C-alpha cells in the first residue's frame, strides 16, 4: 500500500528533479487560489461586498482563465519552456500587486491576471510532465504535481491562521508569495524543451496559428467533446462549493480563522494523498474507473459537508478535498494523453476554458439560488449534483489512455 505514494521504481533522477521544479510552481499557484477562498470574509469586510455579490466577485476574478487560450496557442508553436518562465513572472507580479488593491475593481483585475497565469502554468506543467515521463509513470507524475499544489493550499491555510497578526492582514498573504514565485521563474530558465515538441516542430513550421484548433475539431471531435463536458460538469459546481467552505464554517458553525486554518491544514495534508494515489492507481487499473469513483465520492462528500455538523463536518471536508484532487489529477492527465503533441496544449486549454466558463456560470447561479433559497448551504447542496452527470460521459464517451504512448 505504501508503494502507491512513493516515487516509482526506476524513475530517472533527472525526472525527479524536474518534477520538483514544476511541482514547486504548482505549490505557489494553488497557494494563490486557496488564499482567495480562505480570506473571503476578510475581503468582504475590506471592500464592503454585498452577500449576493460574493459569488459574482469570485466569478469575475476567475474569468482570467479564458485568455490563457492564447498562451496555449503560443505553446503549441514556440514550445513549452519559454512560456513556463513567462507564466511564473506574470503570476509573481499579479499576486504581489493584489496585496495593494484599493478597490473591489482593482482586486478583481489583479486576480483576473493571476488566474490567467495560474491556468496557463498548470496546463503547461502537466503537458511537460506527460511529454517527458515514461508512459507507465505519467499518472504518478501528474499526481505528484497536484500533491505539491495541495501543499501550497496547506501553506495558505497555515498562514491564514495568523492573518489577525500579520501586518496588513489578508494583504500580506499575497505580498509574501510574490518573491518565491519570482525565484522559481529564474530557476526555470535552465529547463530544456521537450523531445516530443522538438520532434513535432518541423510539422508545425509554416502552418496557420489556427491549425491546432482545426485539427482538434476535424480529427478529435469526440475526444474534445468528452473531456470538455466532463470538466464543465465538474467545475460548474466545484468552484462555488470549494470557495464558500471557509465562509460557511465561520458563519454557520462559528469557526474562528485559527480553527478554519487548522481544519484546512489537516484536511489538505490528508487530501494530498488523493493526488498521488489517484495517479498511481489509475496507472494500474485505468483512468476511467478511477475517475468515476472520484466523481461519485466528491458529490457525496460535498452534500454531506453542507448538511452536517459535529465530527461529520471535518470528515466530509477531508473526503471532499481528497476526491477533488483525485478528479483534478485524472482530468489533467487524460486531457493531455488524448491528443497529439502539435495540438496537446491547445486541447488542454480548450478543456480548461469550458471548465472555467462552467465555473463562472455556477458561481453566478449560486447567487441566484441564494436569493431563492435564502441559504448558501442549500444552494451549494443543489449545485453539487452536476458532478454526477459527468459519470455517464466518462463511461460512454471517454477512451482509456493509461499506459499508452504519446504521439
CATH of the domain at 34: 1.20.1250.20
Residue 237 lies in a domain: yes
Report the pLDDT value the prediction gives residue 7, as an integer from 0 to 100.
59
Q: Render the burial of 309-337: b for 16+ CB within 10 Å, e for the rest.
A: eeeebbebbbbbbbbbbbbbbbbbbbbbb
Rounded to whole angstroms, the Cα distance separating 60 from 217 reads 29
Rounded to whole angstroms, the Cα distance separating 383 from 240 reads 8
Report the pLDDT value the prediction gives residue 47, as an integer from 0 to 100.
85
- Measured in degrees and rounded to the nearest 5, phi and psi for residue 52 equal -75, -10
**Structurally, how many domains does the chain consist of?**
1
Q: Would the pTM of this model clear 0.85, i.e. be above it?
A: no
Domain span holding position 238: 14-195+208-397
Alpha carbon distances (Å) from 321 to 8, 27, 315, 397:
24, 16, 10, 26
**143 is written with which cell numbers?**
499526481
Report the pLDDT value the prediction gives residue 55, as an integer from 0 to 100.
73
**Whether 278 contacts 290, CB under 8 Å:** yes
Residue 133 lies in a domain: yes
Taking Cα atoms as reference points, which of 176, 317, 323 lies closest to residue 260? Answer: 317
Residue 344 lies in a domain: yes
Residue 224 lies in a domain: yes
Per-residue pLDDT of the chain (407 residues; tens, 9 = 90+): 445 445 565 667 777 778 888 888 778 878 887 888 778 788 888 888 877 777 778 778 877 877 877 776 777 777 777 888 888 888 888 988 998 998 888 999 999 998 888 888 888 888 888 888 887 778 878 888 888 887 887 788 788 878 888 888 889 888 888 888 878 778 777 778 777 777 766 555 556 666 777 788 888 889 999 999 999 999 888 878 877 877 788 887 888 877 887 877 777 777 677 677 777 888 888 889 999 999 999 999 999 988 888 888 888 888 888 888 889 888 988 888 888 877 787 888 788 788 878 887 888 888 788 888 888 888 888 888 888 899 999 999 998 888 777 76
Report the pLDDT value the prediction gives residue 1, as an integer from 0 to 100.
43
Q: What is the dihedral of CA 236, 241, 244, 245, to 10 degrees?
A: -160
Residue 8 lies in a domain: no
**pLDDT tens column, 302-316:** 999 888 888 888 888
Residue 406 lies in a domain: no
Residue 7 lies in a domain: no
* Other beta carbons less than 10 A from residue 41's beta carbon: 18
The contacts of residue 326 (CB under 8 Å, 6+ apart) are 274, 275, 277, 278, 290, 294, 297
Rounded to whole angstroms, the Cα distance separating 115 from 87 reads 10
**Whether 39 contacts 166, CB under 8 Å:** no
**Whether 302 contacts 310, CB under 8 Å:** no
Rounded to 5°, angle at Cα 245 from 241 and 251: 130
Residue 23 lies in a domain: yes
Rounded to whole angstroms, the Cα distance separating 73 from 86 reads 14
Report the pLDDT value the prediction gives residue 368, as an integer from 0 to 100.
82
The contacts of residue 244 (CB under 8 Å, 6+ apart) are 40, 366, 376, 380
Number of H helices, E strands in the chain: 18, 0
Report the pLDDT value the prediction gives residue 9, as an integer from 0 to 100.
58
Amino acid at each position: 500500500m505504501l508503494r502507491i505514494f512513493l516515487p516509482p521504481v526506476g524513475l530517472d533522477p533527472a525526472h525527479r528533479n524536474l518534477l520538483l521544479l514544476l511541482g514547486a510552481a504548482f505549490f505557489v499557484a494553488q497557494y494563490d487560489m486557496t488564499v482567495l477562498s480562505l480570506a473571503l470574509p476578510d475581503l468582504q469586510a475590506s471592500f464592503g461586498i454585498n452577500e449576493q455579490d460574493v459569488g459574482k466577485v469570485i466569478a469575475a476574478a476567475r474569468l482570467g482563465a479564458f485568455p490563457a487560450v492564447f498562451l496555449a496557442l503560443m505553446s503549441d508553436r514556440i514550445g513549452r519552456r519559454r512560456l513556463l518562465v513567462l507564466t511564473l513572472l506574470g503570476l509573481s507580479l499579479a499576486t504581489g500587486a493584489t496585496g495593494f488593491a484599493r478597490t473591489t475593481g482593482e482586486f478583481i483585475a489583479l486576480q483576473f491576471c493571476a488566474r490567467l497565469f495560474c491556468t496557463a502554468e498548470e496546463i503547461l506543467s502537466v503537458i511537460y510532465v506527460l511529454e517527458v515521463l515514461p508512459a507507465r509513470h505519467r499518472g504518478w507524475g501528474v499526481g505528484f504535481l497536484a500533491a505539491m499544489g495541495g501543499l501550497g493550499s496547506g501553506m495558505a491555510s497555515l498562514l491564514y491562521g495568523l492573518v489577525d497578526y500579520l501586518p496588513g492582514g489578508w494583504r500580506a498573504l499575497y505580498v509574501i508569495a510574490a518573491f518565491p514565485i519570482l525565484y522559481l521563474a529564474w530557476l526555470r530558465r535552465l529547463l530544456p524543451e521537450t523531445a516530443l515538441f522538438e520532434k513535432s516542430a518541423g510539422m508545425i513550421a509554416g502552418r496557420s496559428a489556427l491549425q491546432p484548433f482545426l485539427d482538434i475539431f476535424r480529427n478529435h471531435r469526440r475526444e474534445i467533446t468528452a473531456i470538455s463536458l466532463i470538466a464543465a460538469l465538474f467545475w460548474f459546481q466545484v468552484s462555488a462549493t470549494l470557495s464558500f467552505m471557509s465562509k460557511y464554517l465561520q458563519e454557520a458553525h462559528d469557526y474562528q480563522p485559527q480553527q478554519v486554518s487548522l481544519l484546512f491544514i489537516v484536511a489538505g495534508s490528508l487530501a494530498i494523498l488523493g493526488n498521488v494515489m489517484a495517479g498511481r492507481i489509475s496507472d494500474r487499473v485505468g483512468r476511467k474507473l478511477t475517475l468515476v469513483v472520484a466523481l461519485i465520492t466528491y458529490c457525496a462528500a460535498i452534500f454531506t459537508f453542507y448538511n452536517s455538523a459535529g465530527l461529520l463536518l471535518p470528515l466530509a471536508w477531508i473526503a471532499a478535498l481528497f476526491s477533488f484532487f483525485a478528479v483534478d489529477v485524472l482530468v489533467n492527465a487524460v486531457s493531455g494523453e488524448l491528443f497529439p503533441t502539435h495540438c496537446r496544449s491547445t486541447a488542454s486549454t480548450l478543456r480548461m476554458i469550458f471548465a472555467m466558463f462552467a465555473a463562472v456560470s455556477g458561481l453566478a447561479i449560486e447567487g441566484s439560488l441564494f436569493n431563492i433559497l435564502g441559504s448558501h448551504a442549500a444552494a451549494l447542496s443543489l449545485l453539487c449534483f452536476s458532478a454526477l452527470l459527468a459519470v455517464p460521459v466518462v463511461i460512454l464517451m471517454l477512451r482509456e489512455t493509461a499506459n499508452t504512448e504519446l504521439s
